[in-house]
Structure 1
Amino acid sequence: MYLKQFKRDSSSILKYVPYVFCFIGFMAINILFSSIMEIDTDAVIQDSINRLGKNATFFTFLIPFLFFLAMLFLWWIFIHKYSVKQLTTCRKKVDWQRIIFSFTVWVLINFVILTVSYFLEPESFQFQFNLRAFIPLFIIAIIFIPVQTSFEEYFFRGYFMQFIAFISKNRGVALVTTSVIFGLMHLSNPEVSAMGVSIMIFYIGCGFLLGIMTLMDDGLELALGFHAANNLIGALIVTTESTVFQTDALFVVTSEPNIYELLIQVFIIFPILLFIFAKKYNWANWKQKLFKSI
């Protein structure tokens, strides 16, 4: 359905190569360079915050995604000659209700998680509301975080997943490949320095969650809503001193993250979320939609 609506002849598949290899190559070189040069990403972020302030640093992190998304859409429209709607969903039109539902459900689940965490360890939450800092942060986040998360979804769960599915001729290979590479793209994040590579469980787990949503629901809508909600919460509601989004959010969590929190998130909360979507949208034929050959 979603993957089957595009041509799979050799000339069509070759059109994917320039954008895919340019973006993946750019990210890989950035991670490799940071590793070889032993660049401390957290120190770089702190230096930028000291020079520019948190909001300006946050803005400079997000603004490249506007360029990435615009280039992807232009490439898709003028080189592939498809509409953005077709890259979004196989439905007759984009289902905004799905985006809103996914966004709302993930916000509510996070509200429950944060409330429980606060009552269990109130000393780990530091309230830091500053109206003058929060208003520009809110404006930047509301405008540019959906751009950042939308690019990642349109590229990884849309464009890149199509490319891998076409060359492998298998949905399962596309799901695994895009999920793992999505996780590995976060290797240069400061969270990796703070927690070690075990945090890849979360990032790769997120990749699988979003990929499963896309394949089971035949579109990006649920993934778009979830990802936007997740990153807005991290920017506006609660942040940590070791995250890439070091903002003037309402709360700063001072406790160190641990592997058990990640395991609960990935192996308990994510399946619950998928169960909710499955019941809401009557998902069926899981094996065929996730692993069947194309």
Structure 2
Amino acid sequence: MKFKAIKGHLGIGTEGKDATYVEAAGWGKYRWWRYVLGLVVIFFVGLVVGGIAVPRVAFLLGGQEGLAAVSRLDYAALGPVGGFVAVTAIFPFFLAGILIAVTLVHQRHPRTLVTAREKISWRRVGHGFVAWFVPFWLIAGLGQYLFYPDTFSFNFNFDFATFALFVPLALVFTAIQTTTEELFFRGYIVQGVSLIWSNRVFLALVPAVIFALAHLFNPEASAGGWLTVFFNYFLVPGLVWTAVSLIDGTTELAIGAHFANNIGGSLLMGVAGNAVNAPTLFTVSKFHATYTALSMLVVVPVFLAIAYKVFKRDEASEPVSQSDRIGRR
């Protein structure tokens, strides 16, 4: 199957050459040391500033007991809603660090982490959401019930008032979390390593490896072993969503797909012992690594078929502005 990348124009008076979001790495100021400084900024704001703020969030949620719970990493002690907020509260700080690094260190628009166009196509983001949500939650979710009915249960003691409170929080914090990870792994990291070598295989492998390593300490990784690490972190979303972004020339599909993947786990079906135990509608008592891994072999082709056959990609938008286009070291 041959794909034609969605591209933005490099600019007026440049022989109409198109540019992908990867090539936007050469806009603004882009010397290697700026990417090192950018990483320092991102991790300082995310880990240091965020690390100071999160305990205070826990204190607001649960007082001294909440503060003590976070210090011993016992987020369950804050309750399903409070624990979710405490776990995800650090991502706004990582997002702020990314925006600061791109805007001040590289002096280009943060939008260039997503696309080389004048505007982000939220329609294409929606395509990514639907293309992933439908096959993943039908196969991984409904399939879990069909193959392992004894481990699949509806939360009969479900508190609808708590769930109603949780839904808007889950939508906002999950959107921040997944978008932050996409902007960092498939945006900033891919753009940075593209200055070393622009080979697409290399560009796909580097963020996939880093993404997998960053999630090694998740409870699911410990429960599922190498199968989970390879299929659920390295292959998807690490490798597949990066390859799709490189093919498309934007990270729009990946942003939508990542949100679809995580919001389902926050609202629809949770696995006991996950990093975040949200008040989901259904709960799976045992994580089946083999089934989850095999389901990815079906989900990915269906995702690609929906994304590229069912949905039509947008026409190229307006050319990027002169201020974004000029490369300065």
Describe the superposition over 1:148-182 as per-residue Cα deviations: whole angstroms up to 9, x where unpaired.
Answer: 00010000000011111111232321210111111
The reply to whether residue 259 of structure 1 matches residue 259 of structure 2 is: no
Alpha-carbon RMSD = 2.8
Residue deviations 1:20-47, cap 9 Å, x none?
Answer: 35767999xxxxxxxxxxxxxxx98996
Q: Which runs of 5+ in 2 are unaligned?
A: 1-19, 47-68, 315-329
1:3: how far off?
1.4
Aligned twin of 2:99: 73
Native 8 Å contact 2:131 2:307 kept in 1 = no
Relative to structure 1, the CA distance from residue 85 to residue 103 in structure 2 (aligned partners, 3 Å threshold; closer, same or farther) is same
In the alignment, does 2:245 pair up with 1:214?
Answer: yes
Superposition deviation, residue 8 in structure 1 = 7.4
SS at match of 2:132: helix
Structure 1 runs (4+) greater than 6 angstroms displaced? 24-27, 43-47
Structure 2 distance, partners of 1:110, 1:215, is 22
User: Are residue 204 (structure 1) and residue 234 (structure 2) matched?
Assistant: yes
Tell me: higher relative CO, structure 1 or 2? Use CA pairs within 8 A at least 6 residues apart. Answer: 2
Helix, strand or coil at the partner of 2:117: coil
Task: Return the alpha-carbon distance in structure 1 between the equivalents of residues 37 and 229 of structure 2.
Answer: 27
Distance (Å, rounded) in 1 between the aligned partners of 2:209 and 2:45 = 17
1:1-294 matched pairs, under 5 angstroms: 1-7=20-26, 12-20=31-39, 48-113=74-139, 114-128=141-155, 129-201=158-230, 202-205=232-235, 206-265=237-296, 267-279=297-309, 280-281=312-313
Aligned-pair distance for 1:193?
2.1
- Give the superposition deviation at 1:9: 10
Deviations 1:174-225 (A, max 9, x none): 2101111111110111112222232111210120111012101111110110
Higher helix proportion:
1
| Larger Rg belongs to | 2
Determine what percentage of the aligned residue pairs are the same residue: 30
The whole-number CA distance in structure 2 between the counterparts of 1:21 and 1:272 is 39
Distance 1:135 1:74 in 2: 34
Aligned equivalents of 2:137 and 2:224: distance in 1? 24
Cα deviation code 1:234-262 (max 9, x no counterpart): 11100011211211100001133132431
Question: 2 CA distance for matches of 1:61 and 1:152?
Answer: 15
SS in 2 for 1:168: coil
Letter of the 1:171 partner, please give it. Answer: R
Distance 1:53 1:11 in 2: 44
Given that 2:45 and 2:97 are in contact with CA atoms closer than 8 Å, whether structure 1 keeps it comes out as: no
Q: Contact 2:129–2:257 (CA<8 Å) still a contact in 1?
A: yes
Unaligned runs of 5+ in 1: 28-42, 283-294
Larger CA deviation: 121-130 vs 222-231: 121-130
Q: 1:98 to 1:45 in 2, by over 3 A?
A: farther
Distance 1:70 1:26 in 2: 7
Q: TM-score, normalised by structure 1?
A: 0.82
What number of residue pairs does the alignment pair up?
267
* Closer/same/farther in 2, CA of residues 157 and 11 from structure 1, 3 Å limit: closer
Aligned CA distance change for structure 1 residues 161 and 127 (closer, same or farther; 3 Å): same
| Native 8 Å contact 2:38 2:102 kept in 1 | no
Is contact 2:154–2:283 with CA below 8 Å preserved after alignment? yes
Matches of 1:169 and 1:184, distance apart in 2: 22
**Structure 1 residue 105, shift from structure 2 partner:** 2.3
